[in-house]
Amino acid sequence: MSENAPIVTRFAPSPTGYLHIGGARTALFNWLYARGRGGKFLLRIEDTDRARSTEEATEALLKGLEWLGLDWDEEPVSQFSRADRHAEVARQMLAQGNAYKCFSTAEEIAAWREEHPRQPFQSPWRDATELPDGPYAIRLKAPRSGETVIKDLVQGEVRIANDQLDDMVLLRSDGTPVYMLAVVVDDHDMGVTHVIRGDDHLTNAARQLQIYDAMGWPAPVYAHIPLIHGEDGKKLSKRHGAVGLHEFAALGYPAAAMRNYLARLGWSHGDDELFSDEQAREWFDLPGIGKAPARLDFKKLEHVSGYHIGLMPDDALMAELDRFLAETDQKPLTELQKERLSAALPVLKEKAKTLPQLLEQGRFAMIARPVDIDEKASKALDTVSRGMLKSLTAAVQHGSWSRDELEQAAKQVAEENGVGLGKIAGPLRAALAGRTATPSVFDMMTALGRDESLARLQDQTELAG
């Protein structure tokens, strides 16, 4: 591969289920590497397993990538649709003498392996000159001596003795190509320069390099990244909680936060933990990826999520909330609710770590009168406290409705009644929100506005008699 060749990366998932968080991170790494260097990020759907590949799973993969904000260049490639091209390359290798016809049956191969345990299968047809009629597989005529060297940008130089690898099948006896051949042909034809994928594919790279060598094709640069483990250090599974990207979206982590968090999951740029997309594209490089498995840490994810919620422009955050409600099949906000919640965002997004937390903290802005007051909050409302609310209403109804003025008026009413500010904040919180856990009462009043706040107070002061 020429040093000046444009960078081309690819993400090649199998459409057999949801987009796993590990797959999402692999896609992100490929996207960052290409986008940060003016290259191309391509998408290939490895749908050769017809029994498990479904259109629904393919749509879920595409939707997951779109939600994460990863755009790709060109139309996605279907690996299954290219089977004829894969078979053509196998026959080309046969014609060149880099492959051979193998007539061994499954029973014969099984019997050989039983007699030669822990040894790679050696076909008796490798150097045969007289060939029978009948079905045959096409096998790669792999080197028997020496080593295959994988120069990996993450794992370093990995050497595998060629006598430990068998002559792998390229084309089955029914004429269908194997996955290992399809990957190489597709990567070559798509012009992929860098293969960034999970280190569970590391041993595959040795076999795939042998195909590149046999065809005389330039091999891509490999970077095999460690898998993601749970907080307990074990391979990530359902017992650790969310593992599908859609589950993280449903938990209310914004896409920008997921991009930041996933980028840091196994890759580092000094001590930087929180960064923008622009910084990630500029900083991301393969040597920054560690060799040890990364560990999913939900507390750290919440921290990153809170950071991005706090930075998000209000209109973008409202759009994120609309999308979250729609994708989790929740009732959409009315225009009035949007207006009030938007007014409260400057306060709410300072503390919220997830979108559901933000909605919960902003509940006061979205409820309708009369406010439904829960049992705990109702304890703060009695004849005396309602009387203080009535005094407060009179004190603030003609003012400027600034936060400082509202707080000063509340302090004055509290002093006149010989109590601390907390004694009026409790009933005020109950009247405005119906709960005891809310944002600051003065922040709620400024977000709700004069008319709505006074109306909610009046609902309670009328009960004072």
Q: Is 235 annotated as a binding residue?
A: no
Task: Look at residue 2 in the predicted model and tell me its pLDDT.
Answer: 53
pLDDT at 202 over 70: yes
Q: What is the mean pLDDT of the chain?
A: 94
Under CATH, which architecture does the 81-225 domain have?
3-Layer(aba) Sandwich (3.40)
Q: What's the rounded mean pLDDT across residues 124-133?
A: 95
Task: Look at residue 236 in the predicted model and tell me its pLDDT.
Answer: 82
> Measuring CA to CA, which residue among 154, 220, 150, 139 is closest to residue 185?
220
Instruction: Retrieve residue 380's tokens.
Output: 């703060």
Percent of the chain with pLDDT over 70: 99
Q: What's the rounded mean pLDDT across residues 94-99?
A: 98
**Does residue 151 carry a catalytic annotation?**
no
Q: Which of 40, 151, 234, 238 is catalytic?
A: 238
Contact 411/421 with Cβ under 8 angstroms? yes
Confidence of residue 239 (pLDDT cuts 50, 70, 90): confident
The burial class, CB within 10 Å (0-12 / 13-18 / 19+), for 100 is: buried
Separation CA 405–CA 400 (nearest Å): 7
Task: Look at residue 462 in the predicted model and tell me its pLDDT.
Answer: 84
| Weakest mean pLDDT among 84-98, 136-150, 239-253 | 239-253
Confidence of residue 464 (pLDDT cuts 50, 70, 90): low
Q: How do residues 364-416 score in pLDDT, each as one tens digit? A: 999 999 999 999 999 999 999 999 999 999 999 998 999 999 999 999 999 99
> Measuring CA to CA, which residue among 215, 209, 124, 135 is closest to residue 176?
135
The matching CATH number, chosen from 3.40.250.10, 3.40.50.300, 1.10.10.350, 3.30.70.3460, for 375-464 is 1.10.10.350
pLDDT at 97 over 90: yes
pLDDT at 456 over 90: yes
State the alpha helices, DSSP H only, in 251-349: 255-264, 277-283, 298-311, 314-327, 335-348
Domain range list for the chain: 81-225, 313-363, 375-464
Q: What's the rounded mean pLDDT across residues 35-48?
A: 97
Confidence of residue 290 (pLDDT cuts 50, 70, 90): very high
Task: Look at residue 3 in the predicted model and tell me its pLDDT.
Answer: 60
